Amino acid sequence: MQSDTQEPGQSRGIYVTDDVRSYILQRGRDFRVCTSCGGPILLPITVKPPKATDLQVPVGDHTIYISKYQARYVDVIRRDMIPIFFEDF
């Protein structure tokens, strides 16, 4: 999925891979790409709430918020940005 909008707060053409899109739609919630010691990480907004300065990428009825600090460097939101939790197995 790609967005072509140039409005403030909207994405600037950031691509979301199909596996990440499925992951978000299966969980039925919004997520945020934020900074971690290992690089960009995708977390539910219940863990890391969005900020007014975040870019927004629509995924179905949900949104991926991207930290303004990560937005400069992120062109693709990939599966390796999702942390592995034991309940995912």
* Confidence band for 12, pLDDT divided at 50, 70 and 90: low
Q: List the one residue out of 61, 74, 73 whose CA is nearest residue 26.
A: 61
**φ/ψ of residue 55, rounded to 5:** -75, 155
Region 63-84: what's the mean pLDDT?
A: 91
86: pLDDT strictly greater than 70: no
How many residues are present in the chain? 89
Q: Which residues pair with 57 in a beta bridge?
A: 64
pLDDT in tens, 23-40: 999 999 999 998 888 889
pTM, entire model: 0.80
2: pLDDT strictly greater than 70: no
Residue with tokens 């990560």: 70
Where in the chain are the domains? Answer: 15-81
Using left for φ > 0, alpha for ψ between -120 and 50, and beta otherwise, residue 25 falls in: alpha
